[in-house]
Amino acid sequence: MSINYAGINDHLLIPMTAPHKPRVLIPQTHPYPPAPPAGSHPQLEDSAPRIVEHPTDVLVSKGEPATLSCKAEGRPAPLVEWYKDGEKVETDREDPRSHRTLLPGGSLFFLRILHGRRGKPDEGVYVCVARNYLGEATSRNASLEVAVLRDEFRQPPGDVVVAAGEPAVLECVPPRGHPEPSVSWKKNGVRVSDKDERLTIRGGKLMVASTHKSDAGVYVCVATNVVGERDSEPAELVVFERPAFGKRPHNQVVLVEGTAQFACEVAGDPQPAVRWRKEEGEMPLGRWEVLPDNTLRISRLRVEDEGTYTCVADNSVGRSEASGTLTVHVPPQLVTGPQDQAITPGQSVTFQCQSKGNPPPAVFWQKEGSQTLLFPGQPPVPSGRVWVSPSGALTIVNVQPGDAGHYLCQAISVAGSVLARAGLEVTGGKSSPPVLSLLPANRTVLPAGATVRLPCGAHEPPGSVEWLKDGSALVGVQPRASLLENGTLQISGLRVSRDSGLYKCVATSPAGETHWGISLEVQGGESDLSLSSPAPDLLPGPPSTPVVTNVTKSSVTLSWKGNEDSGATDVTSYIVEAFRYHTSLSLAAGMMWWPDTTLSRVTPVPWQPGGGWPMADSGI
């Protein structure tokens, strides 16, 4: 340190050691401590002043005590003085009323820091100066700053309203202060921690990335520095919830004239307002109501009520919608039903059956007593005489006496079903269905590669013969199969997998039809053998005409005589065939060991014109 003496009344210019602090100009107002008497020499043990403890910066609150430390050494003991901003500091040594005291060690003590808008007498840059007759020493600069924190926030936080899931920002600008206050937040009196990754506190803002209902509450912005804390006026964060459905409307399928109910359970904050609308038009006039739980009820349903119904829930933060579809089913109804009809053989007949309903019903026909179902668009039955039109009408062409009976039209859907019945009477004919002769055995076994001939002749009256295999037409489809003139089926080059199966001979005449079944089994290996009809002289002669006796409500006794011509072997059993006019043929067949046989569980019908039960039997 260098000291430039320009005169007793000049000032000392002391450079500050800290580069960021201004230089302090110290006036020289006091003489050095007394020097030795004239003519004497300074004592060897005397030394110039030296600062051994420099003052440090002090930040203190207004009204609080403070101390600026300074300790100096020298011989004789140096005199210590303080300067603020280049001016000597007045202590209680100069003015007993002063709030500043120079302590014995040289430190400057402030009883209380004075600071106000009109004056700041204690704030500034201080140095201490130690002097004796050998010189002086000046400390480093030390700043005394007064911490301030005003009461009023420059921008207090305001109330915020958000929907759950949305971000929220609470913002405040703290009061002016020195040092600049930091900002924190309290929620419902508890300090908010930013450890929650959804929360961020930055620059006076509290940011919530995705609000939860639990984030709602009263928030206070807290400004803090060394002076203390200041709390802002409270601000409320209100977290509303968009409408959310507890129960949604579901699709409904209800019968006409019934009642439909669509649930709509909704929650939200504030409580949502609920209303209903129909997407395809107006709500059913006078037939709908909304129950206290927001359920929509529609009564006395009509087909035109079908459509989509939407529950709309609104509140101040959003809208939610949920829909359900109403389907109104109408049970099937007949628009045009079938009527009883009577025609003669060979004519055609049509039974009408038009229906309606929602959904549109499926229509099918069935002859009473038959398991066969006939549907619109289905290919004609094997005889090719019966079919159902797309509109549901049943048509029978070339009517035969066997077609007589009752026919059932049924319209069915998931909503229900309806049935109509009509009779067909075939008049003007008493002929019986054809009787089959030269029948093959019930079961025939042949090797692969062989040729088989299965006889089946129809007589009394004669009729057309058709062969079926497993229910499907055979002749004309199978190239190895041919129908001979007498009704015999011939199949050449038998194959195990292709030709084994159930075969049926069907003889048809205007009076009806008769059929006979046979099982053909083709076994492995090839053969040139062929199976053909036996010679006539090997077959037994026909028995006599059956005689009906002992007719009861549940049985009938038939008697006949065998033929003396038994053929190649003795007759072991007989087959009885029975039919009734105007119906399809019924066969009562069995292995009967005696010419006198009783049929049980039958219902005799008195003889009537155009009716009766003729019998025919044949020996085996």
- For the chain, what percent of residues have pLDDT higher than 90? 55
- Alpha-carbon 428 to chain mean position: 68
Is residue 47 a contact partner of residue 167, using CB atoms and an 8 Å limit? no
- For the chain, what percent of residues have pLDDT higher than 70? 78
Answer whether residue 19 shows pLDDT above 70.
no
In this prediction, residue 219 carries a pLDDT of 97
Residue 490, number of CB atoms within 10 A of its CB:
17
Is residue 229 a contact partner of residue 222, using CB atoms and an 8 Å limit? yes
Burial class of residue 325 (count of CB atoms within 10 Å of its CB; 0-12, 13-18, 19+) = middle
| pLDDT tens per residue, range 285-337 | 999 999 999 999 999 999 999 999 999 999 988 999 999 999 999 999 999 99
Fold exhibited by the domain 536-620: Immunoglobulin-like (2.60.40)
| Average pLDDT over every residue of 69-76 | 95
Rounded Cα distance, 496 and 449, in Å: 9
| Average pLDDT over every residue of 536-545 | 68
**Distance between start and end Cα atoms, the chain:** 155
Place 117 in a pLDDT band, splitting at 50, 70 and 90. confident
| pLDDT tens per residue, range 420-451 | 999 999 987 555 667 776 677 777 888 988 99
- Alpha-carbon 546 to chain mean position: 75
Place 12 in a pLDDT band, splitting at 50, 70 and 90. very low
DSSP SS3 for 536: helix
| pLDDT tens per residue, range 338-364 | 999 999 998 999 999 999 999 999 999
In this prediction, residue 583 carries a pLDDT of 42
Whole-prediction pTM: 0.48
Is residue 529 a contact partner of residue 514, using CB atoms and an 8 Å limit? no
337-426 and 160-240 share a CATH fold: yes
Rounded Cα distance, 392 and 376, in Å: 6
Q: What architecture does CATH give domain 11-148?
A: Sandwich (2.60)
Fold exhibited by the domain 435-533: Immunoglobulin-like (2.60.40)
Supply the CATH classification number for the domain 337-426: 2.60.40.10
In this prediction, residue 310 carries a pLDDT of 97
Instruction: Say yes or no: domain 248-329 is CATH 1.25.40.10.
Output: no
**Tokens linked to 4:** 């430039």
Query: For residues 33 and 75, which has the higher predicted lDDT (pLDDT)?
Result: 75
Instruction: Say yes or no: domain 160-240 is CATH 2.60.40.10.
Output: yes
Query: For residues 512 and 219, which has the higher predicted lDDT (pLDDT)?
Result: 219
Fill in the DSSP letter of residue 341.
E
Query: For residues 446 and 220, which has the higher predicted lDDT (pLDDT)?
Result: 220
Domain locations in the chain? 11-148, 160-240, 248-329, 337-426, 435-533, 536-620
Burial class of residue 554 (count of CB atoms within 10 Å of its CB; 0-12, 13-18, 19+) = exposed
Fill in the DSSP letter of residue 599.
E
Q: What residue type is assigned to position 83 of the chain?
A: Y
| pLDDT tens per residue, range 396-419 | 999 999 899 999 999 999 999 999
Strand 182-187 and strand 574-578: pairing? Answer: unpaired
